[in-house]
Structure 1
Amino acid sequence: AEWNLFSMNLDGSQQEKITNLTVRCEKVSVSHSGQTVLFVHYSNDNFYELYSINVDGTNLNLIDRANRYCGSADWAIDDSKIIYSKSRNESTDERDLILFDVSSKNKQTLTTTDNNILGRFSIDNKIAFWQQTNTSNDIFLMDIDGSNQHKILNDASYPVWSPGGKRIAYISKGDMESPQIFIACSDGSNSKQLTNTYLKSWDSGFPNFGNCNPQWTPDGKKIVYESNVTEGLPEIYIVNIDGTDQTRLTNTERRNEHPMISANGNSIIFVSNRDLSYSFDIFVMGIDGKNQNPLSKYSGSDSYPVVLAE
């Protein structure tokens, strides 16, 4: 299937295509200014191409390309640099993390061993990254120039920095067989498990993610996430960072997933296929789960919403 990149207002108005290039069905990365988007295009010659484009459709730029993979990008807090993951060479699926300077266009390879899936900037320009070997998934920390690389979390993946940069949310199976949501301090200490649910079954044709996609509220006090463990279909939950007040926000017999929180913390944007008149659509609801309404109502499917600016 071919996917396109669109923008719209938070009330669903002014839906506009940003680029004529098709995009891969994966989350795009928005600059902190809210003005520029990073996305992945799969080219006619079978290359993964990482592009940047302004949200008004101007200033399309090819950043890098690779035949195995190039993407999973993130912005530094001042938008001066981008980190992304790129296949090491044509004969391996293992990836390295590349630092791209937006002004000079210079590229620096930060990793050289194992499989480095993605890196994420903290507000003080430390980089937490997920490294995979044949036997483990771990989270490492390094400086922005690639120095001082050290493991901070074992059996961990998908690092997500808290707004203040003092904590990291991540995924780990811990002592259970299903993925769970954890948080820890930025050095890996004081790890705390927030979910404790077992995935009994899952929707055929979709990966068995268990609990996944943690998103911090802007005040850093709560985590919004999705869980597949109830009926094997993902639903969206919210929980305090001390593990209390775990609350289910969606409750349908269909999929509800990919939550993103508005900048003011009042709304959650997410994807659902609850309306059988359409495929997957983008919905909005209050942070408390009230007033769930569709925004897109496209005849095809919509997925992976991100919040540009408010």
Structure 2
Amino acid sequence: MTLLNIRSTPRLSTLFLLSPLFLAPLMSSAAPLEIEVVVDVPKQQNQVAFVPFAGDTVMSSIILNDLDNTELKTTSKNLPQQPSSSSELAGTLPVWQSIGVPYLVVGSSSTNRGKVTTEYEVIEVKSGRILAGKQSLTAKDDKESMRYAGHVIADKIYELITGTPGDFSGRIAYIEEIGVGKDKTSSLKVMDADGANARTIYTAKGSIFSPAWSPDGKRIAYSVQRDKSYPIIYVQNVDGGSSTALTPYSGSNLSPSFSPDGSKILFSSSFEGSADIYEVSASGGQPNRIINWPSSEVQPSYAPDGKSFVFVSDKAGFNKPQIYRYEFASGRTTKLSNSSYATSPQFSVDGSQIAFLNGSSAAIMNSNGAVTTNLGNTGIDEAPSFSPNGKRVVYASKQGNKGVITIKSLNGGETFGKSAQGIIRSPVWSASPK
């Protein structure tokens, strides 16, 4: 912990000496009266004052945008100074305190031999304290690397202020469909968490379903169904390389889910009859059937601790799907959902919440099955996906004939969307690549 050698002034006061003539009606003595007038600093909507980093042309706007979409309302306008380090604040901290913004971020970037090093500080304005001291990050001097570095710095700033890791450096995978029937082409795409830098990693004539990220954010599993064939699950490295078929079975192979350590994958398949839940090594091999009920069981999803998973079954009756939980140690199965139609479950990172489709509405329930958030009918009938820190969700919706990816804050931040030419399906958020 580093302290700025600046005296903190929590409020401003002005002293006035009033003349005896003015005070005569108020007092019998002719002695001057000293009155303290307290001027309270106005409460600010903005929580963070961000000074664009000296020497930087790429990262600052990314960091500012990331933070401003959260509950940490951030501004870079009408600031009293443009310091690039805490040492430049000597003697001027009261000026910053007078604007009423709790946190100040300053920094600078320098380039050397194709590398950009950025040093930055997050300052608690009231005390002058530098949170966790000076931070430093080095990245390649190219646009993509600098974009990612901006997201990583925004993650760290958010964590220093809130105590919760940011979710800006993760990526969002989604499916975009153009055309219908035999003319439909589906593309699996990946974009940054701010909706920018979208790129296609796989295209198929037909349908792509249910992408799922590996815990390290480097691999992605998904199902592909071409004309007159069964859906097959593939695994692919997101940053390059060919895809590998994981389930070449004559059945509907759907809904892959990576285990928390990335070594195994849950999926549903009908290759042995009705749809059941299986587990297989993420590198392939013989699958192990875990759920084998007479009804159909689909959409498995691991709990964050790997000790259980949730899935959907229609054992309660036709068109009455419900969400259940299976515990690996005991083999016990428990019904979780309380609504008449519940599908597509996915845990938050801490396991306390489950995003799901509640009838035709995207919703969130707690681990006991009580609905805590209803996001409404999106027009796509798909469930939301949590961001890595659980503070935001992403889901697909429609505006007219165009698909939209919507990113919604769950704790007071901004909601924003990214539109596409085709129909958007199944967006899912990864952790930051490790």
Fold agreement, TM-score > 0.5: yes
Tell me the alpha carbon deviations over residues 203-238 of structure 1, each in whole angstroms, 9 at most, x when there is no partner: xxxxxxxxxxxxxxxxxxxx5x4323xxxxx3xxxx
Amino acid of the structure 2 residue aligned with 1:4: S
Q: Secondary structure at the match of 2:301?
A: strand
Tell me the alpha carbon deviations over residues 177-216 of structure 1, each in whole angstroms, 9 at most, x when there is no partner: x88967454xxxx55344xxxxxxxxxxxxxxxxxxxxxx
Residue of structure 2 equivalent to 1:263:
388
Tell me if 1:15 matches 2:198.
Answer: yes
> Structure 1 pair 19/283, CA: closer, same or farther in 2 (3 Å)?
same
Quote the offset at 1:77 in angstroms: 0.7
Q: Secondary structure at the match of 2:207?
A: coil
**1:47-126 equivalences in 2 (<5 Å):** 47-89=230-272, 94-103=274-283, 105-114=285-294, 115-122=296-303, 123-126=305-308
> Structure 1 pair 108/160, CA: closer, same or farther in 2 (3 Å)?
same
Amino acid of the structure 2 residue aligned with 1:226: L
Percent same amino acid at aligned positions?
19
Quote the offset at 1:3 in angstroms: 1.0
**TM-score, structure 1 normalization:** 0.63
Quote the offset at 1:50 in angstroms: 0.7
**TM-score, structure 2 normalization:** 0.47
- Across the two proteins, how many residue pairs are aligned to each other? 242
Alpha carbons 2:208, 2:222 under 8 Å: kept: no
* Structure 1 Cα separation of the partners of residues 391 and 370 of structure 2: 26
Q: Secondary structure at the match of 1:303?
A: strand
Amino acid of the structure 1 residue aligned with 2:275: R
Higher relative contact order (CA 8 A, sep 6+): 2
* Structure 1 Cα separation of the partners of residues 423 and 251 of structure 2: 26
Amino acid of the structure 2 residue aligned with 1:227: G
Residue of structure 1 equivalent to 2:429:
307
What is the root-mean-square deviation of aligned Cα atoms in Å? Answer: 3.6
Q: Secondary structure at the match of 1:309?
A: coil
- Gaps in structure 2 of 5+ consecutive residues: 1-183
| Structure whose alpha-carbon radius of gyration is higher | 2
> Structure 1 pair 100/144, CA: closer, same or farther in 2 (3 Å)?
farther
Quote the offset at 1:66 in angstroms: 4.4
Residue of structure 2 equivalent to 1:142:
326
Residue of structure 2 equivalent to 1:24:
207
* Structure 2 Cα separation of the partners of residues 127 and 264 of structure 1: 19
Residue of structure 1 equivalent to 2:155:
none
Tell me the alpha carbon deviations over residues 270-310 of structure 1, each in whole angstroms, 9 at most, x when there is no partner: 43433x5x611324455457655443x43333332222334
Residue of structure 2 equivalent to 1:192:
370
* Structure 1 Cα separation of the partners of residues 428 and 287 of structure 2: 26
**1:26-45 equivalences in 2 (<5 Å):** 26-45=209-228
* Structure 2 Cα separation of the partners of residues 284 and 184 of structure 1: 20
Quote the offset at 1:23 in angstroms: 6.3
Residue of structure 2 equivalent to 1:198:
none
Which has a greater percent of helix?
Answer: 2
**1:132-281 equivalences in 2 (<5 Å):** 132-133=314-315, 135=317, 137-144=321-328, 148-153=331-336, 157-158=342-343, 159-165=345-351, 183=365, 185=367, 191-194=369-372, 223=373, 225-228=374-377, 234=378, 259-265=384-390, 267-274=392-399, 279-281=402-404
Alpha carbons 2:230, 2:250 under 8 Å: kept: yes
